[in-house]
Amino acid sequence: MFARYDMVHVRELVSSAGFPSHLSTMWRYSELLPVRSESSIVSLGEGWTPLIRSRRLYSEVGLTSLMIKDESRNPTSSFKDRGLCAAVSKHLELGARSFALPSAGNAAVSMSAYCAAAGVRSHVFMPADTPSSFFNECGLYGAEATEVKGTIADCSAKMKLSGGDWTDLSTTKEPYRVEGKKTLGFEICEQLAWSVPDAVICPTGGGT
């Protein structure tokens, strides 16, 4: 399941010159995101991260130019903030008041942060060998953290068996996390004066 947009209507409302220059977050592209009501947006300043030109690495790998999108500048130091911000905001708009996901760390911290900002409950399931710093951060945000022996797949199974009354924000289980992540592409193009790079290299785990 994916979000769909009336792109003919969007083109009538938006042009590349029309994104609000004063808004230095991913929500500058709000017309291209699924949240309809501004009051539903739970933002911590995610997005509009710098695109840094490599000074030396590009030549070492045989390129004429290389730019690095620094996602560590996001609120919880991860690109996950884009997806979890969009997902939490949209599901709040749809009436959700409790969220859960299995995670190896970064997504758990991100969801916990946005749920804390929204004042709603969060539940995270992480492998027992996850660094303690992730458990600590989730706890600071008020999340209920469950330690699971095994892999993230075991965490997902444990979460399913728990049968909690929450909205599942697992990767690929809902359509809005990828909506936030797509703003990376918008930003790269805008920061390159609306030109498209020859290639984008992106590490992936779950696929989104």
Mean pLDDT score, 195-203: 91
The secondary structure of 130-146, three-state, reads: CCHHHHHHHHHCCCEEE
Distance CA 135, CA 128 (A): 10
Cα diameter, the chain: 53
Q: Which of 143, 42, 45 is nearest to 93 (CA)?
A: 42
Give 74 or 206, the one with higher predicted confidence.
74
Q: What is the pLDDT of residue 82?
A: 98
CATH number of 30-201: 3.40.50.1100
Distance CA 99, CA 170 (A): 10
Tell me what percent of the residues of the chain surpass a pLDDT of 90: 82
The domains of the chain are located at 30-201
Residue 180's SS3 state is helix
Packing angle, helices 132-140 and 106-118, rounded to 10: 10
Q: With beta carbons less than 8 A apart as the criterion, state whether 122 and 116 touch.
A: yes
What digits encode the pLDDT tens for the residues 27-56? 999 989 999 999 999 999 999 999 999 999
Which CA distances in Å does 131 have to 18, 29, 109, 179?
43, 35, 12, 28
Q: With beta carbons less than 8 A apart as the criterion, state whether 114 and 84 touch.
A: yes
Distance CA 171, CA 111 (A): 12
